Amino acid sequence: MASLTPGGWTAIAAWLTVAVVAITLAYAWWQHRHARRRRAQLSQPNVAMFMQHSTTDWHLIELVVKNYGQTPAYGVRFDFANPPTVGHYEREYGEDYVSVTPLNLPAVIPYLAPSQEWRIVWDSAKDRRLLGEAIASRFDGVVTYHDRPPRDDGKPAGRKFRHATVLDWATLPPPERLDVLVGNDRARQEKQRLELLAGILTFFHYASQQGEERALRAEIDLINALTAEVRQRREENRFGSTRDGSGCPAARGEHARGRHRADA
């Protein structure tokens, strides 16, 4: 090294500078490609299929398909080696019969906007437990979709995405645990009923002590008006429930497409 001439040192410094610049450019290019790939991932649709407890009936399990991406998903399709199944409940000659049938899934969901979801009532965790090994509990499948609408001839367009999905009833909380939760809810309801009865008796105690007929009549009219209001509200709720199953016209259709029952 001591024998190097000033020109040699200059050449080494130049080569080191070139190497540092090359490494810097390569790293900057890698960062650019990583950032671009990351932006592309964030701006693409991201559809997932999963199981979820119903918010209206604790023992009902819903099948949900949701787009978590920032762009729409087109032509969402499902492919299962063994399609999800549901118990078909029938009653004939006073006896109950159960047959296992495929879940009625659509062939394709044409469009899912960002954060939009499609769901269907699948089956009851309690009833499914009674079937035991007669009905499968795990279903492996694939969800496919595109990031562009189909062409005029109906053929898919844009990039195709493919995600594996696993639907496993064994991963859900056991129905026994849910029974305990419902028991606690019923206990709270009974406590509220007792509080309501105590309030009515207290009202009767003080209202019946009214000395004047006019004051007593006013208390009677008040309690009759409250009774009529509660009765009307109950009838309205019953009418809405009978009309669509859960206050939403589409809800009854979802139940019909999913969990199957036939009553004689």
Q: Do 195 and 243 fall into the same domain?
A: yes
* In a shared domain, residues 196 and 117: no
Are 141 and 187 in a shared domain?
A: no
Distance CA 10, CA 18 (A): 12
Q: How many domains does the chain have?
A: 3
pLDDT at 264 over 50: no
* Same domain as 245, residue 195: yes
Under the banding of pLDDT at 50, 70 and 90, the label for residue 246 is: very low
Residues 71 and 118 in one domain: yes
In a shared domain, residues 26 and 56: no
Q: Which of 173, 149, 148, 175 is nearest to 159 (CA)?
A: 148
pTM above 0.85, yes or no: no
Residue holding tokens 């490494």?
Answer: 23
User: pLDDT tens digits, residue range 166-223?
Assistant: 999 988 876 555 555 555 566 677 778 778 888 887 877 777 777 777 888 888 888 8
Per-residue pLDDT at 258: 54
End-to-end CA, the chain = 101
Per-residue model confidence as pLDDT tens digits over 18-63: 888 888 888 888 887 877 777 666 678 999 999 998 888 778 899 9
Same domain, 76 and 126: yes
Range of the domain at 59: 47-171
Residues 212-244 have pLDDT tens digits of 778 888 888 888 888 888 888 888 776 654 444
The answer to the question of residue 264 being in a domain is: no
Residues 160 and 201 in one domain: no
Q: Are residues 66 and 167 in the same domain?
A: yes
161 and 195 co-located in one domain: no
Does 112 reside within a domain?
A: yes
Nearest to 47 by CA among 21, 75, 19: 75
Q: Is the pLDDT of residue 110 over 90?
A: yes
In a domain, 246, yes or no: yes
Q: Is residue 77 part of a domain?
A: yes
